[in-house]
Structures are given as C-alpha cells and as structure tokens.
Amino acid sequence: MSFQNILVSINEGIQTITVNRPDKLNALNYLTIQEIGKAVAEGNHHPEVFGMILTGSGEKAFVAGADISEFAAFGAIEGEKLSREGGEVFNSIEQSAKPVIAAVNGFALGGGCELAMACQMRIAAENAKFGQPEVNLGLIPGYAGTQRLVQLIGKGKALELLMTADMIGAEEAHRLGLVNHVVPQAELIAKTTEILKKIGTKAPLAIASVIRCVNAHYQFDANGFDAEIREFGGLFGSQDFKEGTQAFLEKRKAVFTGK
C-alpha cells in the first residue's frame, strides 16, 4: 500500500514506520494516524515481519503532537470523534501481536508522547524531549495519555507533567520509567533493532501472549479511557480551547479565562 504521510520499509523481518512530515515536526493529522494504523495492521499480517519500529523523520522530532491547525476549528462533537477514532488506532498499536518499539528521535509531545506510550517499548535518543502540553491549549490528552502516563510513571508524577505541561529530557524520562533505554541519536535505530532481533528469536505466539497478558493487567476498557474521550470532546466547546489553539497558530501566549 502506498502512503502519503508515512514511510514504510521492511528489512530482515523488521518493519520500520517513519512519520514523515518533518516541516510540521511530524505532527499527527487525521490521515497520518490512519496511515500508521494501516501500516501496523499490515505488519501484523506480513508473514516475514516479526516486529516493528515506529520513528519520526529528521533529527528534531519524533512527533510534536496532534496537528493543532487541523483541529483548531473543531467543536465538542468533532473533538470527541477525533479522540475516539484516533484512540482506536493507538489501542491497535498497544494490542499489536507483534512488538512495536518507538525509536524516539526528538520531540515526543502531546499525541507524540501518547503514540510512543502506545508502543510496547520506547528507546530514546539523548536529544528526545517528552511532555503532555495540552493544557497550554485548553485541552487534555486525547489519545489515552492520561491513562498510559499513569500506568508508566505513576499517578503523582503523571499529574505533575499533565498539569504543568513541563517538558522532560531523555534522562529524566528514563529515570521515571517512561523510556527503556537512552542512546546517542546515531545509535538509536541500531539499539532498537538489536532489542527487536532478540525478541525475534523467541516464540512469536508467546510474545503475542505476553503483550495480551500485560495489557490485561491494566483492564484496557477501564472507564478512564472513556472518561478521557468525553472530557477531551467537551473541552472543544470551551472558549479557552479556541484561545489556546489560536494563540499557538498566531505564535503568541494564550490568555485563559476559565470559560
């Protein structure tokens, strides 16, 4: 299948999916998310593929978030739909029978951090930066970031990152358990490949079972996921959301009123 916003290649059983919108720091618009979902499904069906790498093109960004320019004019109903449909793709990555490892080569913000968290593991380049800055836009994460961040780093630190919108570097992300390893950027793909190849020597059905069982621990359909979708949609009806997104697009500081 040919794609517009992602690059897909297969080498020695590893399918690499590269988000390829470098001029927008690989921001995720609707099409890009759908294409990632299709590529992961294809990788799962491909008889020669045993694992996947998800990364971003260029050296600056993994994914700098959902594409703010695409949803800036959305209302509550469209916001909820965006979250629900995107969430299905992120869930499909989390539930992939073949491991998907995020090779985080730069900014992983908002939807980018959420995308990395949906993968089974994360390897970060030394320059990677993580954060959930949605509150700057009058929003919250919409692709299960409020749930997976808690799962990975615990409630207290997750609340801090979600409420302050602070960005953290690769070393702190490693210390918190958000990423599995930190390596120099030039070694990122080699390290990710090495881990996948090790997993590739194990029994594929057992690997798929491990993924299912670990996901089961978190009761995937727990209410938090649904609550996030509803809250995310609801915020699209607020004036602060309009102000936050307009301020970003106009490159100025947002002035929030609580309405």
Tell me which residues in 52-81 interact with ligand COA (CB under 6 A): 64-69
Using the contact rule CB under 6 A, the part of the chain among 32-40, 120-128, 129-137, 151-159 near ligand COA is: 129-137
CB of 71 to ligand COA, least distance (A): 8
Asked if residue 89 lies in contact with residue 36, where contact means CB atoms within 8 angstroms, the answer is yes
Would you count residue 90 as binding ligand COA (CB under 6 A)?
Answer: no
Alpha-carbon distance 192 to 118, whole Å? 16
CA geometry: angle at 218 spanning 64 and 97, to 5°? 70
DSSP assignment, residue 23? G
Number of residues located near ligand COA, criterion CB under 6 A:
17
Using the contact rule CB under 6 A, the part of the chain among 21-29, 38-46, 119-127, 186-194 near ligand COA is: 21-29
Using the contact rule CB under 6 A, the part of the chain among 48-56, 131-139, 187-195, 233-241 near ligand COA is: 131-139
Alpha-carbon distance 119 to 92, whole Å? 10
Distances (CA, A) of 86 to 23, 90, 141, 163, 254: 22, 6, 11, 22, 26
Q: What are phi and psi of 109, to 5 degrees?
A: -115, 150
Q: Which residue has the tokens 């954060």?
A: 131
Would you count residue 24 as binding ligand COA (CB under 6 A)?
Answer: yes
Q: Which of 35, 80, 94, 134 is catalytic?
A: 134
Alpha-carbon distance 8 to 180, whole Å? 24
Asked if residue 44 lies in contact with residue 5, where contact means CB atoms within 8 angstroms, the answer is no
CB of 148 to ligand COA, least distance (A): 15
148 beta partners: none
CB of 214 to ligand COA, least distance (A): 27
Give the residue, chosen from 99, 133, 138, 145, that forms a contact with ligand COA under the rule CB under 6 A.
133
Asked if residue 132 lies in contact with residue 113, where contact means CB atoms within 8 angstroms, the answer is yes
CB of 60 to ligand COA, least distance (A): 7
Q: Which is nearer to ligand COA, 5 or 15 (CB)?
A: 5
Is 134 one of the annotated active-site residues of the chain? yes
Q: Which is nearer to ligand COA, 167 or 195 (CB)?
A: 167
Alpha-carbon distance 218 to 147, whole Å? 10
Is 171 one of the annotated active-site residues of the chain? no
Q: Which is nearer to ligand COA, 27 or 123 (CB)?
A: 27
Quote the distance between the C-alpha of residue 248 and its chain's center: 20
Would you count residue 144 as binding ligand COA (CB under 6 A)?
Answer: no
The residues of the shown chain that bind ligand COA, judged by CB under 6 A, are: 24-25, 27, 64-69, 107, 109-111, 133-134, 136-137
Active-site residue set: 114, 134
